Amino acid sequence: MLQKFDFEVPTQGRGTYDLTGQIDRFLETSGVSDGLCHIFLRHTSASLIVCENADPAVKTDLEAFIARLVPDGDKIFSHTAEGPDDMPAHVRSVLTHTELSVPIRERRLDLGTWQGIYLWEHRASAHRRKITLTVLSG
């Protein structure tokens, strides 16, 4: 069986946003106790990651690392019409993930103890990001 859920996540610019609880609420609704949850982000300037969920410094360090790896305003980029953070956002998206699948157990994402699912906003300004969940069950 296959169910779909669409939702939006408002962001306040660059940074990570925990989606784990929100997805778990959809899974509760789905009634699926055992299955697979596919998470799809409908954008190319933000991404999805599975990340450590305990120490906020992990996410700050991740942001510092990627900002150094893919610098805003890099002279190598020609696609600059939307600003110095536009092309870096596309590169960050390609180097991380647009979609993820996670097992479902007991109507929840069956993650490891230290795992959370995060939306990573790569643009400097606030956006509304659209996500489609596909819930597969036996």
Residues near a second copy, by CB under 8 A: 1-4, 34-36, 38, 40-45, 49-52, 55, 57-58, 60-62, 64-65, 68-70, 74, 76-79, 81, 87, 90-91, 93-103, 110-115, 130, 132, 134, 136-138
* Beta-ladder partners of 136: 2, 36
- Closer to a second copy by CB, 90 or 107: give it: 90
CA distances from 115 to 4, 82, 87, 124 (A): 23, 34, 29, 26
Taking the complex as a whole, how short is the minimal distance between the CB of residue 25 and a second copy, in angstroms? Answer: 19
Q: Is 34 left (phi over 0), alpha (psi -120 to 50) or beta?
A: beta
- Closer to a second copy by CB, 94 or 126: give it: 94
Taking the complex as a whole, how short is the minimal distance between the CB of residue 82 and a second copy, in angstroms? Answer: 10
Taking the complex as a whole, how short is the minimal distance between the CB of residue 81 and a second copy, in angstroms? Answer: 8
In our burial notation (b when 16+ CB lie closer than 10 A, e otherwise), range 103-135 reads: ebeebbbebeeeebbbbbbbbeeebebebebeb
Taking the complex as a whole, how short is the minimal distance between the CB of residue 35 and a second copy, in angstroms? Answer: 6
